[in-house]
Amino acid sequence: MGFPNDFLWGGSISAAQVEGGWNEGGRSPVQIDYAASSPANKLRMIHYRNADGSRGTVPVFSHIPKGATYELFDDIHYTNHVASDFYHHYKDDIAMFAEMGFTTFNTSISWARIYPYGVEGGVNQEGVEFYHNVFKECQKYNIDPVITLYKYDEPVYFEQKFGAWQSRQMIDEFVAFASLCFEEYKEYVNKWMTFNEINIGLMCRSFHNISHTTQVQEKYTEIHYQIVAAARCVKIAHEMDRNIQVGCMVAGYCVYPLTSDPKDVMLSYKTFQDNFAYCGDAMMRGEYPTFSKRMWEEDHITLDISQQDQIDMLEGKADFLGFSYYMSSCMTTHDEGEKGNGNMMMGTKNPYLKYSDWGWAMDPTGFKYFLHVLNDRYNKPLFDVENGLGAYDQVTSEDQIHDSYRIDYLRDHIQAMKEAVEEGVDLFGYTTWGCIDLVSASTGQNDKRYGFIYVDMNDKGEGSLKRLKKDSFYWYKKVIASNGEDLD
C-alpha cells in the first residue's frame, strides 16, 4: 500500500516564469517579455507599437497585427524580466530543493537561450552551458529531472520571420532544438516532455474570448504542428537511445455537469473531449480521435494534415502522459449558477467546493477522479507535473510565512493521489507547481505565490530577491522523507 518506493517527488518551475536574465547570456526576446501584468482573472496584455506610431494591446498568446512591432514602454513594469532571478540563484535554489528531499525536478529549457535566432542564427553556447550547469547541480544531489522542451516561450524572431506556429517550418526548427537538447544533456536527463499544456490554445477560448473563426483556426493549426513536432521528437529520441522517455503534457481539470439534466452531462463530456482528449488522444494514441471531425465541423476548421504527419503521429506516440491539475469546473445548459474562473478557462461555480483567492475551485476528489479517468483511457504511465495553490502570503516580523492554507490544499491532494495509486493508477511522480515563488502565467503577478520558498519580490518590482523558507517547506520535506505517509 502507499506510494511505490521509486515514486518521484519534487517541484516544477518554468524558464520564462522563474529565470529572469531576460537579456543576458545571448538570450533573444520572447513574447512574454513584452507583457504587462494584470489583476486576478483579468487578461494579461502584450503592449506593442503600431506602424502609425500609436500603441496597441493584444492578450498574451495572440499575434500582434501585421506591421506592428514589439516595444518596451517606460510606464509598464515587466515582471518576467527579473522574475525570481533563478538565472543567478539556481545553485542556492537547487540546494534548497535538495534540502526538501526532491528526487525529481521539472523545469523548461528556454529555446531563446539555445537557438535565439533559429537554426539559421546558430547555437548560443552560453545558453547551452547554462543548462549544463543547472543539470550538474541536480546530479550533485541525485535529483533525476524531467525536463520540458517548450513552455510558451519561442523567440519572437520566429513570429517576425515566418509567423511562428502558423508555419510548418516551425516543426523543423523545434525538432532541431529538441535533438540538440537530447544529445547535449543525455548524461543528465532521460525523461522529457515536449510541449507544456499543448491544449491550452483550445482550453483558453472562453477566458481569452476567442471566437472569431480565424483565431480559432490559428489555434488548431498551431496545435497540429506541435503534435507532429512532438511525435517526430519521440521518434528521434528513441532512435538515439531507447532508454530516453519522451512524454507529452496536457492541461487537465475535472469537468462536471452542474445539474443531472442529461444535456448538462453531455455538455460536460463534450468539454472534456474538446479541451483535453483531443490533444491527449492524438499524442497518446497516435491519431486524432473520432470526435475531432465533429470539432472541426463545428469550428469551421480545415487542417493541413499530410500523410507523413499521420505516419509520424502513429510512430511517435508519447511514452507517458504528463498533465497539470489544479481545479474542477461545472458546465450547464441552464441559465443558472454563478460564473467561475479557473486556469485559463471559465465555467460555472460548484456549490460544494471552496475557492482560492483567484476563484479556482479546490477539489481533491476531482483529482482522484481525474487520475482514474486518465489511467482508464490511456493505460500508460502518468506523471502529475503541476498541482498547487496560488495565494497571497504574509511575511511576519521574524521572516516567517505561515502558509497553512497551502499545506491544507497539498495534503488533501496528495491524500487523494495516494488513494488513486492504491486503487491501481499507474502514476510515477508528482511535482508541485512553483516550488519556489515565480511569475504567474495568466496574470503576470509575483504576488500570486505557489512556492515552498518565498522570493522577496512584488508585482511592482520591489524586493531584495531574498529567499525564505515557508512552513510548507518543512512540511513537504516530511512528506517526501516518509514517501507520502506523513501528511500531518
- Smallest separation (angstroms) from ligand BG6 to the CB of 15: 10
Nearer to ligand BG6, 101 or 342 (CB): 342
Considering only 252, 257, 390, 451, the residue that binds ligand BG6 (CB under 6 A) is 390
Contact between 197 and ligand BG6 by CB under 6 A: the answer reads yes
Q: Least distance to ligand BG6 from the beta carbon of 22, Å?
A: 16
Per annotation, catalytic residue among 197, 298, 338, 423: 197
Nearer to ligand BG6, 189 or 251 (CB): 251
With CB under 6 A as the contact rule, the residue among 433, 454, 473, 475 that binds ligand BG6 is 433
Q: Quick check: 464 and 481 in contact, CB under 8 A?
A: no
In three-state form (DSSP H/G/I as H, E/B as E, the rest C), the secondary structure along the chain is: CCCCCCCEEEEECCHHHHCCCCCCCCCCCEHHHHECCCCCCCCCEEEEECCCCCEEEEECCCCCCCCCEECCCCCCCCHHHCCCCHHHHHHHHHHHHHHHCCCEEEEECCHHHHCCCHHHHCCCHHHHHHHHHHHHHHHHCCCCCEEEEECCCCEHHHHHHHCHHHCCHHHHHHHHHHHHHHHHCCCCCCEEEEECCCCHHHHCCCCCCCCCHHHHHHHHHHHHHHHHHHHHHHHHHHHHCCCCEEEEEEEEEEEEECCCCHHHHHHHHHHHHHHHHHHHHHHHCCCCCCCHHHHHHHHCCCCCCCHHHHHHHHHCCCCCEEEEEEEEEEECCCCCCCEEECCCCEEECCCCCEECCCCCEECHHHHHHHHHHHHHHHCCCEEEEECCCCECCCCCCCCCCCCHHHHHHHHHHHHHHHHHHHCCCCEEEEEEECCECCCCCCCCCCCCECCCEEECCCCCCCCCCCEEECHHHHHHHHHHHCCCCCCC
With cell 529555446, the residue in question is 111
Kindly state whether residue 340 participates in binding ligand BG6, applying the rule CB under 6 A.
Answer: no
Report, in Å, the least distance between residue 393 CB and ligand BG6: 14
Query: Up-side HSE of residue 18: CA atoms within 13 Å toward CB?
Result: 28
Among 32, 246, 327, 441, interactor with ligand BG6 by CB under 6 A: 441
Least distance CB 201 / ligand BG6 (angstroms): 12
387 lines the binding site for ligand BG6 (CB under 6 A)? no
Tell me, yes or no, if 419 is annotated catalytic: no
Q: Kindly indicate which of the ranges 26-34, 135-143, 363-371, 436-444 contains the residues binding ligand BG6, using the contact rule CB under 6 A.
A: 436-444
- Write phi, then psi, for 461 (nearest 5 degrees): 90, 15
Cell of 272: 472534456
Query: Given the complex with ligand BG6, which of 86 and 288 has the nearer CB atom?
Result: 86
Task: Please report, as residue ranges, which positions from 87 to 116 form the binding site for ligand BG6 (by CB under 6 A).
Answer: none
187 is catalytic: no
Phi, psi of 422 (to 5 degrees): -65, -25
Is residue 79 close enough to count as binding ligand BG6 by CB under 6 A?
Answer: no
Q: Which is nearer to ligand BG6, 60 or 258 (CB)?
A: 60
Of 448, 449, 469, 470, the one binding ligand BG6 by CB under 6 A: 448
Applying CB under 6 A, which of residues 8, 14, 154, 273 lies at the interface with ligand BG6? 14
Q: Give the contact letters, 347-386, x = binds to ligand BG6 (CB under 6 A), - = no.
A: ---------------------------------------x
Which residue stretch of 80-88, 183-191, 296-304, 441-449 sits at the interface with ligand BG6 (rule: CB under 6 A)? Answer: 441-449
Name the minimum Å distance from CB 451 to ligand BG6: 12
Q: Which stretch binds ligand BG6 (CB under 6 A): 75-83, 135-143, 371-379, 438-446?
A: 438-446
- Applying CB under 6 A, which of residues 275, 324, 328, 432 lies at the interface with ligand BG6? 324
d(C-alpha 107, C-alpha 249), whole Å: 13
Residue 442 in contact with ligand BG6, rule: CB under 6 A: yes
Q: Which of 194, 440, 446, 472 is in the footprint of ligand BG6 by CB under 6 A?
A: 440
Total of chain residues touching ligand BG6, rule CB under 6 A: 15
Instruction: Write out the binding residues for ligand BG6, residues 400-419 only, by CB under 6 A.
Output: none
Can residue 251 be called a binding residue for ligand BG6 (CB under 6 A)?
yes
Window contacting ligand BG6 (CB under 6 A); options: 183-191, 236-244, 418-426, 439-447: 439-447
- If one asks whether residue 447 binds ligand BG6 (CB under 6 A), the answer comes out as no
Out of 154, 173, 218, 386, which one is annotated catalytic?
A: 386
Rounded CA-CA distance 157/221 in Å is 19
Spatial CA neighbour of 253 closest among 106, 374, 354, 338: 374
Q: Which of 104, 106, 148, 196 binds ligand BG6 (CB under 6 A)?
A: 196
Which spans of this chain sit near ligand BG6 (rule: CB under 6 A)?
Answer: 14, 17, 196-197, 251, 324, 343, 386, 390, 433, 440-443, 448
Please identify every residue annotated as catalytic: 197, 386
